[in-house]
Chain A
Amino acid sequence: MTLIATQSLTKTYGNQVTALSDLTVTVEPGIVGLVGANGAGKSTFIKIMLGLLGPSGGQARVLGLDPTVDGHEVRTRVGYMPEHDCLPPDLSAAEFVTHMGRMSGLPRTTARERASETLRHVGLYEERYRQIGGYSTGMKQRVKLAQALVHDPDLLLLDEPTNGLDPAGRDAMLALIERIGTEFGISVLVCSHLLGEVERICDALVAIEGGRLLRSAQLSDMTTVTEVLSIEVSEGTEELAARLTEAGLSVRAEGQLLLVPLVDDTTYDLILTAVAELDLPLHRLDQRRHRVAELFATEPTEPTEPAEPAEPADLADAGTTTGGLQ
């Protein structure tokens, strides 16, 4: 089943402001990143998905339903975590999430059970009986996530879930979202203005800019071909780069890091040998996905897809992968 499908979706406020413009995108279930700068139209997109805003033009379907017609049904099956602060300070997390569960149509006892279950899953235990006003930002974000999850939705819409978190908190939140998407079996749409953040956990990415679709791509396809090893040594970076190039690897420098495409296991051996022979202090050697930013930025050499008429002309750099472009 298609998770979200839009067809020439357009939203204008008044006469002047265009939030979304001719957006056509298809998203399959999984963890989907919706990336764009502030004001790119991410929040408007979410509100249309929830049926809270009517589109000025075009169509949208969420979980196979039209949110403008069946908004009620859509909102029963979708959980929404807003970007801004949305928690009453003088309630405990347990009470608040229970109430929100009831507001989604859960019977009283079920709401209470599911509230404490959900709070446990997001990592709040005994603290859940304390007033939310005394929580740290990280705990508040977890409560916000829990209230979106309490009624067991089929789709979670998360608007900037890592906002205001420190690096450790970000990692924890992203790990949690990844668990929701994989273990819990709930599809997630994560909005973020930080591409580097969501690319780590997403199966697919949708990038929008100024209300237009920049690119939509399935990440699982590209990771197999674009896995890279990043190497960090505290000195002798140039020497190592030269040595690796000699060994037949295509080395690219990125700041203090050297990036080497991972061909097979021998790549590791080559690198380790080179480091050992040069007697360099190796800081880090890890495998990572190709930075999606590069995929979005660089012009691919050969388009593997025929250009689609719906695609904006200036963005007709069809992906190296099977895109979600309609």
Chain B
Amino acid sequence: MTTLDAQPAARPTGVIHDIGYQRYSGPRLGRRHIVGALFLHGLRAAFGLGRTAKAKIFPWLVVGVVGVVAVVLTAVRAQTGEVVLRYAEFPEVLTILIIFFCAIVAPELASRDLHSGVMPLYFARPLHRADYALARLASLVCATFLLLAGPITVMFVGAAFTVGEVGLVWDEFGSYLGALAYVVVHAVVFGAVALLISSLIRRRAIAAGAIVGAFMLTTPVVVVLTLMPNATANQLAGLASPVSLVSGLGDWVFESTGEAGIGGYGPLYAIVAVALVTGCVLLLLARYRKVASK
């Protein structure tokens, strides 16, 4: 730049100097940091942070509803002492809201990038294609976890002040931690399925519909199977849908007796859940391998 060698000091003050292009010699962070930045960016995007007001409406609507439910439950318990809903039942009752949340956020994370054609820009950078897919999945899972863990924490804090005795607070804490683990299962299963679907569809609205469809349309299958006059079919019915698969897992872990609808098939539910998540992740990686090669 010509102004570089012209002495800026000799010029009149108050002039903005064009000092020309500056080469960058500072630090360049490694792949781990880049993936971390992408994860954080995705997590913010999930809640519409750093986006337009329009992008905030739907995620915060869901957050609001879930939050109100938690506050009401906490208030009821504080007033009457009655436990309407245990922590672990909370995500099950709100399943439909989790589905909506995933249907809103997953297309925002995956379909949006595919639609705008921004993927080649990511792949032309130090980021590996698997890094991208896994960072996106982590953002979605973490956002879903926060959606549920926040309200459950509110419920726990409320309950801790209500029960009064230290021993009872510890009991509460135990079931609170158990519920958080259950929330993680929800977030991972729902997130993996939802992100896989939206990575296949470039239009956000269609992807959102497909996600809701994938979770909802499998429910009638479960219902039909539970109505079959065969105990084994009834107990295995839950495997037919991700929703009932996760709630079946919950039954196995949290319902101590055999009254639960899945009989002795708890471990099978666990295996199927792990297989489902693994399959989704592998397909997701394969999908982005294809995207990167285009």
Contacts and interface: CB of A to CB of B under 8 A. Distances in A.
Interface stretch (A101-109, A188-196, A228-236): A101-109
A63 B79 CA distance: 71
A50 B24 contact: no
* Chain B interface residue bracket vs A: 35 or more
A90 B113 CA distance: 11
B37 interface: yes
A147 B121 CA distance: 9
B124 interface: yes
Contacts of B293: 52-53
A114 B23 CA distance: 10
Contact of A107 (B29, B55, B112, B118): B29
Interface in A65-82: 72, 75-76, 78-80, 82
Given A53-B293, A85-B117, A90-B51, A105 B23 contact: no
Given A76-B126, A90-B52, A147-B121, A105 B24 contact: no
B125 A75 contact: yes
A107 B126 CA distance: 14
* Chain A interface residue bracket vs B: 35 or more
A113 to B, nearest CB: 10
B28 A76 contact: yes
B24 A87 contact: no
Given A87-B116, A121-B21, A107 B41 contact: no
Interface of B: 1, 20-24, 26-31, 33-34, 37-38, 41, 50-52, 55, 112-113, 116-118, 120-128, 292-293
Interface of A: 50, 52-53, 72, 75-76, 78-80, 82, 84-91, 95, 99-100, 102-108, 110, 114, 117, 121, 131, 147, 151-152, 180, 183-185
26 contacts: A50-B123, A52-B124, A75-B125, A80-B120, A80-B121, A80-B124, A82-B117, A82-B124, A84-B117, A85-B116, A86-B118, A87-B117, A88-B113, A88-B118, A89-B116, A90-B51, A100-B125, A102-B38, A103-B121, A104-B28, A104-B34, A106-B29, A108-B37, A114-B24, A147-B121, A152-B23
Given A86-B121, A107-B27, 12 more contacts: A52-B293, A76-B126, A82-B120, A86-B116, A95-B50, A100-B121, A102-B34, A103-B121, A103-B126, A108-B37, A147-B121, A152-B23
